[in-house]
Amino acid sequence: MALLETKGLTMQFGGLTAVDNFEVSIDKDELVGLIGPNGAGKTTIFNMLTGVYKPTKGSIHIGGEDVVGKTPYQIVKIGGARTFQNIRLFKDLKVIDNIKIAYHHDINYNVVSGIFRTKKYWAEEKKAYEESIKFLEIFDMQDYADTLAKNLPYGKQRKLEIARALATRPKILMLDEPAAGMNPQETKELMETIHMIREKFDIAVLLIEHDMNLVMGICERIVVIDYGKIIAKGTPDEIKNNPDVIRVYLGE
C-alpha cells in the first residue's frame, strides 16, 4: 500500500471549492512535486494533509492509517511532518533546542522526574542532546548548535526547519515552497539537501514549489493543479510538453 494516499479529497469554503477531488498516491522513497499557479489550492491541500483543515469530503491515509479529523500533532506522530512557506522556527531559542523540541515524543520521562531530576531525566536529556547533535551533523550545522535560530542566515534557517521536521521521524516529509525567497546559489544548496535527505532517510517527500528548475530537476513525478482540480500528472518531461500545463502557465 502507498505511504500517502488520498481519495476524492475535496475542500469547500462556503460556496467556493478550493480543492476538488484531489487524488494522489505516493510510495516510499518517491519524490513528488505539486505545482500550479497562485491560488490553485496547493497550500490548502497541504493544510488538509497535515490536519490544519478538515476536508469536506474524501479520505487521507498515511502509512495505512486514516488521518482525517486528526489534529496536526497526532498526524506528526503518525508520520506526516511539514515545513512552512514562511519559515516558522522557534526564533528566540537555540538551534539545538529547536531540534530537541521536535524530539519531544522520543524523550521519555514524566513531569515528576523532570522536576526532581532523577537518573532517568539525566539519561534521557543526554540522549536527546546527542541525537540532536547527530542530526545537526547530518545537515552540517553542528557549529551553529548554540546560535539563536533567528540569527541564522536565510538558507540555514530553511535547512533547520527541514531538519526539525525530520527530527520528528516522519514517514513522509511535506515541503511547502522551500525555495521561496532564495537566490540561485541557495536553491542549489537546497537541492543538494533534498538529495541528501532521500539518501539518508527512508522517507517519501511531497514538494510544493514555484521554482521550475528545482521541481523539474529533482522530482520523479509531478502533479499539476489549477483551480483545485488536477490537470496533469506525470514525469517532468511529460509535464513540460503537456498542452494543458503550458496553457495554464503561459496562456493560450
215 contacts another protein (rule: CB under 8 A): no
Q: Work out whether strand 16-26 and strand 4-13 pair parallel, antiparallel, or are unpaired.
A: antiparallel
C-alpha torsion 243→244→248→252, nearest 10 = 50
Beta-carbon count within 10 A of 205 CB: 22
201 contacts another protein (rule: CB under 8 A): no
82 contacts another protein (rule: CB under 8 A): yes
Q: What cell does 195 get?
A: 538529495
Residue closer to another protein (CB basis): 114 or 234: 114
133 contacts another protein (rule: CB under 8 A): no
104 contacts another protein (rule: CB under 8 A): yes
Residue closer to another protein (CB basis): 104 or 134: 104
> Which residue's entry shows cell 514538494?
207
Contacts of 20 (CB under 8 A, 6+ apart): 10, 227, 228, 229
| Options 37, 54, 71, 195; binder of another protein; rule CB under 8 A | 71
Judged by CB under 8 A, the stretch of 13-21, 120-128, 178-186, 193-201 that binds another protein is: 120-128
Judged by CB under 8 A, the stretch of 37-45, 108-116, 215-223, 243-251 that binds another protein is: 108-116
DSSP result, 128-154: HHHHHHHHHHHTT-GGGTTSBGGGS-H
Minimum Å distance from CB 121 to another protein?
A: 7
Minimum Å distance from CB 47 to another protein?
A: 11
| H-state helical runs in the chain | 42-49, 72-78, 95-102, 111-116, 119-138, 154-167, 184-200, 212-218, 236-240, 243-250
91 contacts another protein (rule: CB under 8 A): yes
165 contacts another protein (rule: CB under 8 A): yes
Judged by CB under 8 A, the stretch of 60-68, 151-159, 162-170, 202-210 that binds another protein is: 162-170
Q: How far apart are CA 231 and CA 202, in angstroms?
A: 30
Residues 5-64 touching another protein, rule: CB under 8 A, are 50
240 contacts another protein (rule: CB under 8 A): no
Q: How far apart are CA 117 and CA 132, in angstroms?
A: 20
For another protein, the binding residues (CB under 8 A) are 50, 71-73, 76-77, 81-82, 84, 88-93, 97, 100-102, 104-105, 107, 109, 111, 114-117, 119, 121-122, 124-125, 128, 164-165, 167-168
